[in-house]
């Protein structure tokens, strides 16, 4: 699948989001990817990071390891879908071949939160997220 980024670059979606799960005293970030080679584009876990805090440096290390292990095609931008957390976004932006793309679920939740925080009702928030 290709995505048209506003500046006109075609982006192949390969990397899909670092997911953070809170497990007791630790967080687990999982970097998964989808490749068009496989039927139905299954989610495939690539890297796991167990960390104590949601520090940007932890995620930069994760993407640094990804950069060492994966040979990205030259001149091609790869979309990395994130939840918009600043540390992860900055880490994605540290690799020039990756482009941060916001997850739809997180965009919708941000809109709902904005509407309700600014005096709107949940029913009104649904209008903006359908």
Long-range contacts (CB closer than 8 Å, 24 or more residues apart) made by 104-113: 110/84
Instruction: Please state, for a pLDDT cut of 70, what percent of the chain lies above it.
Output: 78
CB 46, CB 33: distance < 8 Å: yes
Residue 4 — pLDDT band, cuts 50, 70, 90? very low
Stretch 103-113: mean pLDDT: 85
More confident residue, 17 or 105: 105
Q: What is the pLDDT of residue 2?
A: 36
Residue 19: pLDDT band (50, 70, 90) is low
Phi-psi region of 40 (alpha: psi -120 to 50; beta: other; left: phi over 0): left
* DSSP string covering 20-81: EEEETTEEEEEEEE--TTSTT---EEEEEEEESS--HHHHHHHHHHHHHH--PPTT-EEEEE
More confident residue, 55 or 41: 55
Average pLDDT on 55-81 reads 82
Give the Cα separation of 42 and 97 in Å (integer).
22
pLDDT at residue 36 in the model = 67
Domains of the chain plus CATH, in order, are: 2-103 (3.30.420)
Q: What is the reported pLDDT for 105?
A: 82
Look at residue 6 and tell me whether its pLDDT is greater than 50.
Answer: no
Q: Residue 3's pLDDT is what?
A: 35
């Amino acid at each position: 699948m290709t995505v048209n980024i506003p500046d006109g670059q075609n982006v192949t979606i390969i990397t899909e989001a670092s997911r953070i799960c809170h497990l007791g005293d630790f967080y687990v970030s999982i970097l998964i990817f989808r490749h068009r080679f496989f039927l139905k584009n299954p989610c495939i876990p690539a890297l796991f990071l167990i960390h104590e805090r949601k520090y940007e440096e932890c995620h930069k290390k994760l993407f640094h390891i990804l950069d060492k292990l994966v040979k990205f095609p030259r001149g091609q931008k790869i979309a990395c879908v994130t939840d918009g957390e600043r540390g992860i976004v900055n880490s994605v932006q540290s690799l020039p071949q990756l482009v941060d793309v916001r997850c739809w679920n997180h965009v919708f939740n941000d809109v709902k939160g904005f509407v309700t925080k600014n005096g709107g009702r949940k029913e009104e928030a649904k209008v903006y997220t359908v």
